[in-house]
Amino acid sequence: MKSKLPHFIFFILISVLVGFACDKINDPLTLVDQKNYPLNPDDTLYFTDSVVVTCKQVLLEDFTGHKCVNCPSAAKMLHEMIAEHQPRLISYAVHAGSFAEPVPDSPFENDLRSSLSETLFTDFGIFANPVALIDRIEFNGLRQIFTTDWNVVVEQQLQSDNSATMKIKNTYFPKLNIVVTDVEVDFLNNLEGQYNLVVYVVEDHIVSPQMNNDPTIGPDTLLNFEHHNVLRAAISSNYGDPINPGGNIIAGSAFSKRYSYQLNEEWIACNCKTIAYIGKTHESLNLTDIIQVGELGIKTDGE
Amino acid sequence: MKKTAIVLSFLFALIIPSFIFSQGIPDNAKVTGNVQIDAQYYTEDTKLGITDSTLNYRKFGMNSFANLLYTAGNFTAGMRMEAFLNPMLGFDQRYEGVGIPYWFAGYKTGTFQLTAGHFYEQFGSGLILRSWENWMLGYDNSIYGLNAKFSPVSGITLKGLVGVQRYFWQPYEEGNRGIVKGFDGEFDLNQIFPALTDASTRISLGGSFVSKYEKVPTLSYVIDSAYLIDSINWNQQSTYEMNLPYNVGSWAARANLSNGGFNFYAEYAEKANDPNATNNYIFRKGSALYSSLSYSTKGLGIFLSTKWIDNMSYKSKLTESGNPPMLDINYLPAISKEHTYSLASLYPYATQPNGEFGFQGQIDYKLPKETLIGGKYGTLLTVNYSLAKSIEKDTLPDSPITGSLAGTQGYETSFLSVGDLTYYRDLSVLADRKINNKWKLLLGYYNQRYNKNVIEDNIYNEDHIVKTNIAVLDLTYKITRKNSLRMELQGLWSKEDKGDWGALLVEYNVSPKWFFSLQDEYNYGNPAQEMQIHYFNMAFGYTQNTTRFSVRYGRQREGLVCIGGVCRYVPASTGLTLTITSSF
């Protein structure tokens, strides 16, 4: 019996590991998407705009915070890069982490964070500001890319093959403050793996104080600093919706999806934009390797 | 490429142990095997509406297999080659192809036994795990993986397994079916405890745990609701996804007691929430109870069994349904009698996994020989009664999201409740008597109720009950020591479905090599006059040592073929059938 004991324990352990597994489901159905749209758009007032992306564009996710003293100079550099590569470099500011926490009874009491920003900050292990994810690729073994490498990585990504064209159409219904976003994607190459379509809403031109240590930009506290493309929320789920569940993408295939989203009343609708991108699902990081991105403002009047 | 790899692996498994264990071919090595070829050539038959077009121009069908088993001491390896070129009528066309769907290698060292490759296994009565194969049904849910057995002390047997199930010829890939894992323990108390060794009452207990992991698909439901704002119609479109369980677990406990001629067996099983295509995606847990009590003594045998099943369909792919019932992890024992005679098995019972109460009782009594009623040689009387009914279900309201019971608990029921709906009832009385050295007689009467809507179409009502009375006369006349003549005369009377049938079989046997038979089943009472058809067959067979050839020509009627409550639909056909079986 004694000599059999190790066998016995080993056998039981293996059996327990393989045998006992069960998922108890308490809520069988989950609401994953909700959209509102007029049954007949001609019945109500709406404004529409669209953009078509035909060449490879690059997404730079700028992790920042209003207490990050180095961030204004990074923002300035980014602004120049965007101007240089217009319209192929698209970015939004992810206010998250300790540098983005509001300070009550101070100039920094505004809260530009969102639950989505915090999720991205945590999931991608952001450890410093300013730092960026560029197309969520790895550069020198890291996805978190410092400002010194932003130009290099952006240039590299701009040179990469274009795998998809994308059309974004925003239809804004002022009476309900709802934007309906239609995204159409045509794939140009065969792609292996599972890809998701992600749509976020950002707000531009938010004027709010920002700490600074670059005298060429201004004083230590920039009271009227203009924050660009602040990430507000996900219109799709945080890491998007499956484009090709269970199979690879074949060149020539197409995908389209409609989203509907009611904007927060505190946001200025005419400053809001939708940003749509396609990325590859990743075992632990949810979504990486962005192959295409597009940006479109929300048109709120007839001009 | 994969097939080549499998064959190479098999050859590797065959050869390498010879070097490892004995550095040569062991003296005790043995190779055995058997082969079966079933081939049919189909002809057009205007009466049955069979044309080349309805046959899809496949005028020839062949199902065949060859088993090979190698044993050398404690090492065993085996394989089965199968060819379905094309699959015969009534077999799933996804079987078409040729290959080696089953191979294994195993060894036993001391009290430990391991099998790698494909294997069949059963825990208890199979309520939560049974992997089995039946060639006639075209059913095979073998597991491909590892199976270990271990007996740490005398009287304790532990089993553990992990693998994926066979699905026609489709290789396993993530997402196309689940992974099955299981553990079972069997404890023979009389062997474990010395004080009970000589006890007349034998007791064994057992328990099992089984779970499956499946990369579940996304099931979405879209709900539109209209609303009005400033006289403008808007629509709110909500998309819901079903939270399907990746892991579905089950457990079972069982006990077996025996004393003298008595034997009692009981097993209870539960399965966690398992929404699937069979139960219409309800989230209710499943449960089942199976028990049997038997008594046997010289001249008398009594067997009683009962089962109660609630939501126990358990497959390794939740979207799988239909016929043949593939990817079943468990087996729900059928407790209806499988009849020998063709008209008595015209309306067989198929287990209803969504809910069923079943009872079967059988008494075999041999009237003593040399008595007035028993006759010179005695008479065997067999009375069997089988019943399958619904269980009580208080159906819950439909989900407003799915518009059906999907996504809800489905219904409420009380354990061991019996519903009003009869699925199947079968009473049979058989008397088998040897009259003298020349004559042997069997008389049988069957009274059956067959709920066609439930059993064939999953429609739970009593709108199509087929009531039948069946009589059988089976007479054997021994002409000489080697020559005998057998005649079967059967009648089935029913006012429902296809009406009355008559059947006659005449068989001439020249023992042990030859047989010749003529058979006709005549559906003379079919309400559709054009379907009052003779299903005529003639056949002969020849046996040489362990090889048997048989040839049959004629019509085959459509219907269900059921074995152990698992059924296969067989369409009507006409043609020539060749069967060859051989073993070595």
Question: What's the CA gap between A240 and B208, in Å, rounded?
Answer: 41
pTM of this structure: 0.74
Chain A residues within an 8 Å CB radius of B273: 23-25
pLDDT, average across residues A3-26: 68
Residue A174 confidence (pLDDT) above 90: no
Cβ–Cβ below 8 Å for A20 and B209: yes
Q: Do A7 and B112 touch (CB under 8 A)?
A: yes
**Best residue of B121, B208, B240, B282 to probe chain A, by most A CBs closer than 10 Å:** B240
Of B238, B243, B402, the CB nearest to A25: B243
| Comparison of pLDDT for A109 and B49, the residue scoring more | A109
Tens digits of per-residue pLDDT, B169-200?
A: 999 987 799 999 999 999 999 999 999 999 99
| Chain-chain contact of A23 with B211 (C-beta, under 8 angstroms) | no
Q: Is the pLDDT of residue A10 over 80?
A: no
Instruction: Out of A14, A23, A40, name the one closest to residue B160 (CB).
Output: A14
Provide the pLDDT for residue A228: 96
For residue B21, name the pLDDT band (cuts at 50, 70, 90).
very low
pLDDT in tens, B392-438: 999 999 998 999 999 999 999 999 999 999 999 999 999 999 999 99
Nearest CB partner across the interface for A7, out of B152, B175, B182: B152
Q: Is A3 on the interface with B (CB under 8 A)?
A: no
Assess contact for B222 and B239: CB atoms under 8 A: yes
Q: Average per-residue pLDDT in chain A?
A: 90
Confidence grade of residue B1 (pLDDT, cut at 50, 70, 90): very low
Contact B235 A28 (CB under 8 A): no
> Does the pLDDT at position B222 exceed 50?
yes
pLDDT digits 0-9 by tens, B331-366: 998 889 999 999 999 999 989 999 999 999 999 999
Residue B93 to residues B55, B56, B86, B87, B532, Cα–Cα distance (Å) = 12, 12, 8, 6, 30
A36 interfacial to chain B (CB closer than 8 Å):
yes
Res. B18: pLDDT tops 60: no
pLDDT at B51 over 90: no
pLDDT per position as a tens digit, B489-519: 999 999 999 999 999 999 999 999 999 999 9
What six digits make up the tokens of B521?
């089943």
Asked whether residue A11 carries a pLDDT value surpassing 90, the answer given is no
The nearest alpha carbon in chain B to A35 belongs to B237
How confident is the prediction for chain B on average, in pLDDT?
91
Question: pLDDT tens for residues A66-116?
Answer: 999 999 999 999 999 999 998 999 999 999 999 999 999 999 999 999 999
The pLDDT tens digits for A42-70 are: 667 788 899 999 999 999 999 999 999 99
Q: Is the pLDDT confidence value at B5 over 60?
A: no
What pLDDT was estimated at residue A268? 95
Q: Which residue of B has its CA nearest to A173?
A: B234
- Mean pLDDT in residue range A140-169: 95
Beta partners for residue A255, in sequence order? A185
User: Which has more pLDDT, A40 or B59?
Assistant: B59
The answer to whether the Cβ–Cβ distance between A31 and B150 falls below 8 Å is no
Q: Would you place residue B458 in the very low, low, confident or very high pLDDT band (cuts 50, 70, 90)?
A: confident
In angstroms, rounded to a whole number, what is the distance separating the alpha carbons of residues A94 and A219? Answer: 23
Q: What is the pLDDT of residues B87-120, one digit of tens each?
A: 999 899 999 999 999 999 999 988 899 999 999 9
What's the residue count for chain B?
A: 584
- pLDDT value for A266: 94
Q: Which of A11, A27, A175 sits opposite B150 (nearest CB)?
A: A11
What's the pLDDT at B373?
A: 86
Contact A23 B272 (CB under 8 A): yes
DSSP sequence for B504-569: EEEEEEETTTEEEEEEEEE-TT-SSGGG--EEEEEEEEEEETTEEEEEEEEEE--EEEEETTEEEE
What 3-state class would DSSP assign to B196?
helix
User: What does the pLDDT average to over B445-455?
Assistant: 96
**pLDDT tens track for B275-312:** 999 999 999 999 999 999 999 999 999 999 999 999 99
Per the DSSP assignment, residues forming a β-bridge with B356 are B309
Highest mean pLDDT among A136-140, A285-289, B8-12: A136-140
**Which of the four pLDDT bands, split at 50, 70 and 90, describes residue A302?**
low
Cβ pair B484, B476 in contact under 8 A:
yes
Pick the residue from chain A with its C-alpha nearest to B399.
Answer: A29
How far is B88 from B312, CA to CA, in rounded Å? 31
- A19 to chain B, any CB pair closer than 8 A? The answer is yes
Mutation to test the B interface, candidates A17, A22, A177, A259, most B Cβ within 10 Å: A22
pLDDT of B548 over the 60 cut: yes
Nearest to B233 among A11, A34, A38 (CB): A38
Across B118-139, average pLDDT: 95
Q: Which two tokens stand for residue B40?
A: 């049919």
Question: A-B interface: how many C-beta pairs under 8 angstroms?
Answer: 130
Which amino acid appears at position B248 of this protein? Answer: V
Q: State whether A29 and B234 contact (CB < 8 Å).
A: no
Contacts of B240 in chain A (CB under 8 A): 29-32
With an 8 Å Cβ cutoff, are A175 and B229 in contact?
Answer: yes
* pLDDT for the residue A39: 80
Section A200-225 average pLDDT: 95
Q: What is the pLDDT of residue B249?
A: 95
Q: Which residue of B has its CA nearest to A10?
A: B150
> Would you tell me which residues 54-113 of chain A have a C-beta closer than 8 angstroms to some C-beta of chain B?
none
pLDDT score for A12: 67
Mutate to test the interface with B, among A5, A7, A9, A11 (most CBs of B within 10 A): A11
What whole-number percentage of chain A has pLDDT above 90? 75
Separation in Å, CA B134 to CA A302, B138, B561, B564, B566: 73, 6, 12, 10, 10
Looking at residue B581, what is its pLDDT? Answer: 96
What is the percent of chain B with per-residue pLDDT over 90, rounded to a whole number? 79
Quick check: B245 and A29 CB within 8 A? no
Q: Is A116 on the interface with B (CB under 8 A)?
A: no
Q: Which residues of A touch B153 (CB under 8 A)?
A: 1, 4
Query: How far is CA A104 from each of CA A113, B129, B133, B443, rounded to the nearest angstrom?
Result: 15, 62, 72, 97
Residue B107 · residue B71 · CB < 8 Å: no
Q: Give the range with max mean pLDDT: A42-46, A243-247, B142-146.
A: B142-146
The SS3 call for residue A131 is: strand
Chain B partners of A181 at a C-beta cutoff of 8 Å? none
Provide the pLDDT for residue A13: 64
Q: What is the pLDDT of residue A4?
A: 60
B384 and B361 Cβ atoms separated by less than 8 Å: yes
Is some CB atom of chain B closer than 8 A to the CB atom of A10? no
Confidence band for B568, pLDDT divided at 50, 70 and 90: confident
DSSP per-residue letters across B485-501: EEEEEEEEE-SSTT--E
On chain A, the residues whose CB falls within 8 A of the CB of B234 are: 36-39, 176
Closest by CA position to B507, among listed B515, B495, B499:
B515
Mean pLDDT of B150-166: 93
Q: How far is A34 from chain B (nearest CA, A)?
A: 4
What's the burial of B436, exposed, middle or buried (CB within 10 Å: 0-12/13-18/19+)?
exposed
